[in-house]
Structure 1
Amino acid sequence: MKIEIWSDIMCPFCYVGKRRLETALAQFPHRDTLDIVWRSFELDPTMHTKPGQSIHELLAERKGVSVAQGRQMNEHMAQIAREVGLDFDFEHMVPVNTFLAHRFLHLAAKHGKQNEAKERVLAAYFTQGRNVADLDTLTELGTELGLDATEVRTALASEAYAEEVRHDEYQARQIGVRGVPYFVFDDKYAVSGAQPSELFLEVLEKVWEEKHPAPVVLASGGACGLDGSDC
């Protein structure tokens, strides 16, 4: 079974949704057979880093509210994150354009490290206050995952993997993705948003059962039960 997930690094619900999916996967007996693919989606491709601007100020600017209200909204989001074991540090987050980080994830995918890279970049942004649009930062994160530092730096300093990011975003438009996270199970069922773990588990079981239907019993009788009672 393949699960494709469109998400952005700066999207807090994307990290929460990742944790809720992982909770469901922990209860899914066939989790080791899954192929999870992270797809790129930029909430704001035109985003430019403003030196010194806090995430509270950015949210207030985007929502047309006061900075105090922006802070309250982020505090509410932090509470939601804590419910799934995440400690968001909104005071130190660095708002950035995420295109370079998405390219980094495609590079990691080439080496079979995309899922680990996704977790590392999200943690760096949401909990460690690191600049995930910085070449040095991404190179360091890559080496932590066992990637070659020279390869990471050379690839990200060029236009490598830019086409892959744009292709993911093209696919998102084709299937009508309007917000993230957006989960697609085996090209058949979609779940939009950071839904409860119970819903993810329900979808996983449904897709698995459809791919591996139980045999239809056309006749019964003349057989021994497991406890021997019918013999």
Structure 2
Amino acid sequence: MTNGRINPANVPDIALKDGQSIPQVGLGVLRIDDEGVVPVVESALEAGYRHIDGAAGYNNEAGVGRALAASGYNIGAKRETLWVTTKLRDSEQGYDSALKAFDNSLKLLQLDYVDMYMIHWPTPFDWRSTDTWKAFVKLRDEGLARTLGVCNFMPADLKRLHEETGAWPAVNQIELHPTWQQREVVAFCKEHGIAVEAYSPMARGADLNAGDGTIEKIAAAHGVSPA
């Protein structure tokens, strides 16, 4: 990164077991309102980001869609350079409801497909991930969602999904940062070929000063900022 810009060619791609590859660095749009997210996404694309991570539950898919359309990243050759993730609301899990929810997300995002569709939470108290996953497979088979993933799934949730569907997700997105490394979950995912995607990788900034300046020392040794 130079002058606040990212050279997409310098951002590694992580190969997934389904044959897709995901840019390692992405922009998450949690806690940005629908109007405010438009300039954020536009600025990120201009700065070089090629990975946008959103969700229906963030209530800003329409804003993300407006930003993608305004910048030309919703169609054509520019669209092919971009990775867009969205996630299913917990309240809309289930087969028919997931398909309906996806159609709405696609319309709001102004896209013909998403690169990854994810189950946002496992909801073990009201397990519907099995029927939801069957809907996800239909979307993948139709070319509407290229990669299927989950968020916040623990090993027990992943095992149950596999037992009932025969499938492991390509990605498990979990909170992961230096002071919360979730090593058991990471090890389980690695064992089963599931790529781990971190959200809040700096603990919303809290980890920048954690460990008695450890991160600052590492950053100084490499001539980079703590972030």
| TM-score normalized by the length of structure 2 | 0.28
Task: Give the structure with the larger helix fraction.
Answer: 1
TM-score normalized by the length of structure 1: 0.28
